[in-house]
Amino acid sequence: MNVVVHRFLATGPLISRIGAALFGGYALAALSTVAVLASPMSKVQAVIAGQLASFLVYAGAVIWVFAVRSAPKAWTGLIVVALPLALAAWSVS
Amino acid sequence: MSHVVALMFSLAGFAALACASRRQQRDLFGGSLGSAVTLGFRLAGGAALLGALAVLVAWHGWGLALVMYSGHTSLAAGIVGAVLIVYGRSARPKFRPR
Amino acid sequence: MTTKSEQQSAGRGIRQSMSELHTWVGLLLGWVLYAMFLTGTVSYFKDELSQWARPELARLTERPDAAVVAQRIATAFDKVAPGTSQWSVRLPDDRNNSAYAFWRTASREPGQRGFAEGHFDPATGERVAARDTLGGDFFYRFHFQFHYMPVPWGRWLAGIAAMFMLVAIISGVITHKKIFVDFFTFRWGKGQRSWLDAHNMLSVFGLPFHAMITYTGLVTLMAMYMPWGGQVAIKSPAERQQLQAELSAFTQPGKPSGQKVPMASITEMVREAQQRWGHDNVGRVNVTHSGDAAARVTVTRGDSGRLSMSPQYMEFEGTTGRLLSARDEVGGAAETRGVLYALHLGRFGDGFTRWLYFLVSLAGTAMVGTGLVMWTVKRRQKLSDPARPHIGFRLVERLNIAGIAGLSIAMTAFLWGNRLLPTTLAGRANWEVDLFFIVWALALGHALLRPVRAAWVEQLGAASVLLFLLPVLNAATTQRPFWHSVAQGDWVFAGIDLMCWAFAALHLVLARRTARHHLAAPIKRRADRPGAAAIASGGAAE
C-alpha cells in the first residue's frame, strides 16, 4: 500500500504535466480561436486568423508546461493566460 | 540561371563561415587564424549569403525568393558540411579510432 | 521524463527538461513521423509518379492549349455524363499528361452525393483506359491520412504527429542552442557523438524548412483540428459560404432552371482567363448544370508562379459566356493561410525549386531517422545488462528496423505491384495498396525474428535490390524502358529510373556500413553497435 502511494506521489506530477500539455494546451488553443473573434477583424478573417495562431499557442503552452519547475506552476501559468481569453470569448458568445 | 548564381553565393558563404569557426580552423589550417582573419571570414560569409538572397529577390521577387533562399542555404550548408567530413576523413586517417 | 528526474526537478535547468521533452516526444510518434516525412518527400513528385504508374498514357511533348482542351472535355461530357449537375477538370500541364476530371453522379439514396472520376486524352477528349491505380496519390494521401482507418482518424493522427513534431523542433532548438555557433561539427567514429552530430547537422541545415513544413502542415487541415472559432462565429449558411469562398475556388452547384439552352464556347471563356493570368496558367475548369439556363462556368488560376493557394477564379454565365465575377483576392488572414498552404505543397516552383524541396525534405526524413536510431544508441550504453536489454528497448530497436528499412521495401513493393498486378484484376488499385501493407507487415515480422544487425543488413539490402531492379522490371513490362526514355527525352520516366538507382545505391551503402561496422568492432563495447550505421544520408557513424 505504502509503495503504491509512494509511486503515485512520484509519478503524479509527471502525469499532471502530460495532461496539462496535451489537454490544457489544446483547451488554451481552442479558447484562443474563440477569443480572437472579439478583435475588430471581420468574422470570417478572425476565424481563419484564430486557426492559424492556435498551433503556436498550443506549442507554446506545451513548452511552458515542461519548462517550469513544478506541475502546479505549469497549471497556474495556463490558467493565468486562459482567464483573459475566456473573458474575451465570453464577450462574443 | 539565378539558381546557379544563388547556389554559388551560398556555397561561398558557408565555406567562409566554416573557415571562421574555431574547430574548422584547427582541422583545416592546423591552428587558430587570429581574430582579424576570423572576423574577415565571418563578414565575407555573411555578405555572400546576403548576396545569394539579393540575387534571388532581384530575379523572383520577395515571396518566391525567400522560399528558394531557404532551400539554397540548406543545400549549400549540406554540401559544405559533406565536403568538410570527406576532407577530414581523407586528410587525417591516422586519427581514425579503430 | 522519468520519476527520478521529476523529483530532481528543482535542481535541473530548462535545457535538461527540454532535452527530455525532445527525446520522448520524438520517440513516441517517431515512426509515424518518419513515414509521414518520407511519403511526403516523394509526394513532391506525385504527378511524375502518377505518370509513371500509368505507362499507357502517352507522354506530352508540349503543353496543350488549355482553351482547346477544355472545350474538348466539355464536348466529351455530353456523352460521358449527360445531365450531371457538376463536372470539374484539372487541365493537363507541364507535369500532367492527362486531363483528370471528376463529376457528380445521380445518388442512389437521397442526401448522398456520388462522384465519378476519369482521365481524358487532351488530344481527342476521349476517356482513356489506364490501369486502375492510385499512383503517386497513394503516397500523397498516406502522408496525411494513412490507410485502413476512417479518413478523419487518419487526419487526426497526422495532426497529433505534426504537433509532436512542432514541439520536438522547438524543444530541440532550446536544448542544442550551441549547434548554431558550431554547426559544421562532425566527429567521425565517436559512436553516440557521431550520431548526435549527424542528427544536429541534418536538423540545423534544414531548420527553416523543417519548422515551416511542420507548421504549414497543420495549417492545411486547421479547420478540422480547430473548429471552435468557426462554430461560435459562423451560424448561417450564407456565412458558411462566405468562409468557404475565402478558402477554396470549389463552388457547389446551385439550382437548375430546367430550361434547356445550348452552352456558349468554353474556349472563349478560357481565353479570357488566359489573358488575365497568362497563357499557361489556367488550372481548372468547373461547370455546373451544363446545358441549362442556369449553367455556370468557373475557370481557376493555376498554381505556378504564385506563392499562394488562395482562390482566384473567374465565373462565367454558361449559356452566354458573359463574365459574372472575377475573384482576385481574399482577406488578409485568408491570404496568409493561402501562402502557408502553398508553401507546404510547393507547387508554385520551377523544377529546381522542386528538387530543393525534395532534397531538404529528404534531409528531414534522415533527421527523424537518425533521431530514432540515436535513442537506442544512447541507451545501449546505459543498459544494466547489454546482452539482455529490457523489452521496451528491444521493441524500439525492432520498430526502427521495420519503420525505416521496412518502409523503403514496402514503398518499392507498391511500385512493383503497379507493374506486376494484372490489369484485369478486380479492385486492382486496392490490391496495390494492400501489397504495400502486406510487405511492410512482413518486414516487421522479419525484424522481430532476426538478430538486430542481421535484420538491418538484410532489409536495407532487400530494399537496395528491389530498387535497383525496378527499372529493369519497367523495361520488361512496358514500352518505355530507360534507354528509350532517354532517347525520347522523356525525363519523367528516365528520372524515376535514375532515382531508383540512386536510392538503391544509398541503401547499399547503408547496408554495407552496417555489416562492415560489425566486423570492425566486434569485441569492443561500443555505444553504437547494432544498426548504428543504418540511416543517415548526411553521414553515418563508423
Is C209–B82 a contact, with Cβ atoms under 8 angstroms apart?
Answer: no
C541 within some domain: no
pLDDT category of residue C166 using cuts at 50, 70 and 90? very high
Nearest to A36 among C14, C218, C229 (CB): C229
* Cell numbers at C86, concatenated: 457538376
Whether the CB-CB separation of C256 and C292 falls below 8 Å is answered with yes
For the cut 70, the answer to whether the pLDDT of residue C498 exceeds it is: yes
Range of the domain at B10: 2-95
Check CB contact of C212 with chain B, cutoff 8 Å.
Answer: yes
* Closest chain A CA to residue C8: A69
Report C:23-62 residues touching A (Cβ under 8 A). none
Report C:285-314 residues touching B (Cβ under 8 A). 305, 307
- Name every chain B residue with its beta carbon within 8 A of the beta carbon of C181: 21
Is C331–A43 a contact, with Cβ atoms under 8 angstroms apart?
Answer: no
Instruction: Give the per-residue pLDDT at A8.
Output: 72
Bridge partners, residue C116, by sequence: C103
Question: How far apart, in whole angstroms, are the C-alpha atoms of residue A64 and residue A76?
Answer: 11
Please tell me which of B11-15, B90-94, C36-40, C183-187 the model is most confident about, judged by mean pLDDT: C36-40
Residues C327 and C262 in one domain: yes
Range of the domain at C27: 13-54+138-221+346-520
Question: How far apart, in whole angstroms, are the C-alpha atoms of residue B3 and residue B55?
Answer: 9
What's the structural domain count of chain C?
Answer: 2
- Name every chain A residue with its beta carbon within 8 A of the beta carbon of C229: 33-34, 36-37, 46-47, 50-51
Is C348–B88 a contact, with Cβ atoms under 8 angstroms apart?
Answer: no
Last residue of a domain, one of C295, C311, C345: C345
What ipTM was assigned to the predicted interfaces of this complex?
0.91
pLDDT tens digits, B63-81: 888 888 989 999 999 999 8
Is C357–B89 a contact, with Cβ atoms under 8 angstroms apart?
Answer: no
Instruction: Give the per-residue pLDDT at B91.
Output: 67
Is C222–A29 a contact, with Cβ atoms under 8 angstroms apart?
Answer: no
Nearest to C3 among A11, A30, A89 (CB): A11
pLDDT tens digits, C189-198: 677 788 888 8
Is B78–C188 a contact, with Cβ atoms under 8 angstroms apart?
Answer: no
Residues C419 and C465 in one domain: yes
Bridge partners, residue C118, by sequence: C101
The larger pLDDT score, comparing residue B27 to residue C215, is at C215
Q: What is the DSSP string of C368-412?
A: HHHHHHHHHHHHHHH-SSTTS--HHHHHHHHHHIIIIIIHHHHHH
First to last CA, chain C: 30
* Closest chain B CA to residue C308: B63
Residues C363 and C455 in one domain: yes
What's the structural domain count of chain B?
Answer: 1
Residues C338 and C398 in one domain: no
What is the percentage of chain B residues whose pLDDT exceeds 90?
35
pLDDT tens digits, C97-146: 889 999 988 766 555 568 888 889 888 888 888 888 999 999 999 999 99
Neighbours of chain C (3+ CB pairs under 8 A): A, B
Question: How far apart, in whole angstroms, are the C-alpha atoms of residue C345 and residue C349?
Answer: 10
C237 within some domain: no
Residues C193 and C315 in one domain: no
Residues C368 and C380 in one domain: yes
Q: Tally A–C CB contacts below 8 A.
A: 122
C534 within some domain: no
Instruction: Give the per-residue pLDDT at C534.
Output: 40
Instruction: Give the per-residue pLDDT at C81.
Output: 85
| Best CA proximity match to A51, nearest among C275, C303, C30, C234 | C234
Residues C340 and C356 in one domain: no
* Closest chain B CA to residue C186: B85
C285 within some domain: yes
Is C233–A92 a contact, with Cβ atoms under 8 angstroms apart?
Answer: yes
Instruction: Give the per-residue pLDDT at A49.
Output: 95
Residues C353 and C341 in one domain: no
CA distances from C9 to A15, A63, A78, C16 (A): 14, 15, 19, 9
Last residue of a domain, one of C330, C345, C360: C345
Last residue of a domain, one of C305, C327, C345: C345
Residues C378 and C469 in one domain: yes
| Best CA proximity match to A19, nearest among A8, A9, A27 | A27
Whether the CB-CB separation of C186 and C194 falls below 8 Å is answered with yes
Interface test with C, best of B85, B95, B96 (most C CBs within 10 A): B85
C530 within some domain: no
Residues C203 and C322 in one domain: no
Backbone angles phi, psi at C531, to 5 degrees: 65, 15
3-class SS letters over C60-106: CCCCCCHHHHHHHHHHHHHHHCCCCCEEEEECCCCCCCCEEEEEEEC
* Closest chain C CA to residue B56: C353
